Amino acid sequence: MFHKLPSEHLPQIEDILEAEAARMTQVIEVGVIGVRNMGNGVAFVLDSEHLMATRARLKTEFTPWLAPQDHQPWRPHITVQNKVHWQRAEALYDKLSLEFARSTISVEGLDLWSYLGGPWRHERLFSAGRRQASHGESWDDGAGPGISGE
C-alpha cells in the first residue's frame, strides 16, 4: 500500500496498523480484474472499494512519513514480476493476459514488511478484527483475553 515508511517510527506504525486491522470486522473481498504491464514488470490489477477506503484511512495516519509517490493516485495490484528487462516483462504480460480469468481473493489482515536492499523481511501480521496483546497474546475486538471451551 505504501512504498516506504520510516523504521524509526516502527512502534507508531505498528499501533496504527493494529488499530486499522481491529476495525476490519470481516475479511475484505478483492477482485483480481486484470493484468498490467508495468514496463519492467507485471502485476495483477485489484479492485475493492473497501480496500481503497482502508488505504485512504492509513494514508491519513501516515501522511507525515509518506514518500512523494505515496501521494499519487493509488492503483492496487499484486506484483508478479519486477525489475526485469522490458522484453521479459512483455513476454510474461502476453502469457498471463492469454490465460487470465477474473477471480476474488480475501484480505484477512494487514502485513508489515521491511525491505533489506534486495530481500524482504516479514515484520508482523495484523489479523482482521483482532487487537494484539503484549507478549504475543491476542484477543478479538480489543475486549481482552477470552475463555474458550476448547
pLDDT score of 133: 42
pLDDT in tens, 124-149: 999 998 765 433 433 333 333 222 22
Fold of the domain built from segment(s) 7-140: Cyclic Phosphodiesterase; Chain: A, (3.90.1140)
**Domain segments of the chain as ranges:** 7-140
pLDDT score of 148: 25
CA distance 82 to 120: 14
- In the block, residue with C-alpha cell 523504521: 7
pLDDT score of 140: 37
- The C-alpha R_g of the chain, in whole angstroms, comes to 18
**Helix, strand, coil percent values for the chain (each to nearest 5):** 35, 30, 30
Collect all residues with Cβ–Cβ distance below 8 Å to 141 and sequence separation of at least 6.
22, 129, 130, 131
pLDDT score of 145: 28
Per-block mean pLDDT, blocks of 10 residues, the chain (150 long): 92 96 92 98 97 96 95 95 96 98 96 88 91 42 29
